[in-house]
Amino acid sequence: MSSLDQDQRLSPCCRDKTTVSSDSSDAAGPASTPLQGLKLASHAVLEEAQERGRLKCSKCGGSRMFFCYTCCSLVGVSPQEVPLIKLPVKIDIIKHPNETDGKSTAIHAKILAPSDVTIYTYPCIPEFEKDKVVLVFPGPGAVSVQDMLQCLLDRSHDSFYEPCTKRLKTEGLQGATHASKNPELGTSSEAKGLESKVYPLQRVVFIDSTWNQTNKISTDERLQGLLQVELKTRKTCFWRRQKGKPDTYLATIEAIYYFLKDFHEHCLAQEYSGEYDNLLFFYSFLHTVINKAKRLAGKI
Ligand SMILES: [Zn+2]
């Protein structure tokens, strides 16, 4: 089996919608479209590494290409040759122990943004502070990225808070605009920089698992009570979708990328100009390689 022939682990971050809204210019296109036009570092280093083939990981001895998913380190590629990304918020990924690490795209995030990404293996997960952490997972009470900060603020201020969705409807509140008017942020929010802008959000949790295992993690009591956030409908372009699962279930690295893009626009209120595109550095390369191989084999 080639190292590129990875199975898929998906992140259930969008609700499974059978109809897709018509306003989504960056969503719901043909499956190959979302990866076009990204601002990516050169893939030349990966092409060269691919030509050399698999190498032994210096730490565990495993045969790997590009990186070792067990040791979380690069193999046959030097750190200077891959992009290093600073994220505006900490990301925690919870992965299921029964899956082999090679199937996961979570490792891409850890390698490309090492200081901001932590991977936990279920059931070893930390206690999360309910009013500072959100879980990206769809559900009836889930809110959009746009409404997320206001909902967290409501939680930290109200001892008897109404469900966020209800409050948002009745008061017509909207995300960052109102968050910046919050008295705790005051007028010095700009001076305080990024941290105050996204106050009170400290961490964002993603679940990295096959579908069958996802519910077990998402219903864990340590994740109960976290504000759930769902992404607007976007389609995956992962090369091996799980049989029978809709294409709105994203690969974990896709989910993180789309979350951050929304976060940048709606919570930081800044125009997005490719800041986190390199999170898809490995993913887009593998996507191209696998599609090319499929075409050659006459499968697509
Ligand atoms: Zn290793």
Ligand 1 mean position, distance from CA 231 (Å): 33
* Average pLDDT of the segment spanning 23-45: 68
The whole-model pTM stands at 0.80
Nearest C-alpha neighbor of 115 from the set 174, 164, 72, 60: 72
Each residue's pLDDT tens digit, 112-122: 999 999 999 99
CA–centroid distance for 97 within its chain: 19
Comparing 3 with 150, the larger pLDDT belongs to 150
Ligand 1 mean position, distance from CA 10 (Å): 23
Residue 208 parent element (H or E): strand 203-208
Ligand 1 mean position, distance from CA 75 (Å): 8
Q: 82-91, 203-212, 253-262, 265-274 — which is least confidently predicted?
A: 203-212
Ligand 1 mean position, distance from CA 247 (Å): 32
Which residues, including other chains, have CB under 8 Å from residue 45's CB and lie 6 or more apart? Answer: 77, 81, 82
Ligand 1 mean position, distance from CA 225 (Å): 36
Q: Is the pLDDT of residue 183 over 70?
A: no
Ligand 1 mean position, distance from CA 64 (Å): 8
Q: What was the pLDDT predicted at 202?
A: 93
* Average pLDDT of the segment spanning 44-57: 96
Give one word for 18, left, alpha or beta, with left for phi > 0 and alpha for psi -120 to 50.
alpha
Ligand 1 mean position, distance from CA 65 (Å): 11
Each residue's pLDDT tens digit, 238-268: 665 666 666 667 889 999 999 999 999 999 9
Comparing 274 with 27, the larger pLDDT belongs to 274
Ligand 1 mean position, distance from CA 74 (Å): 9
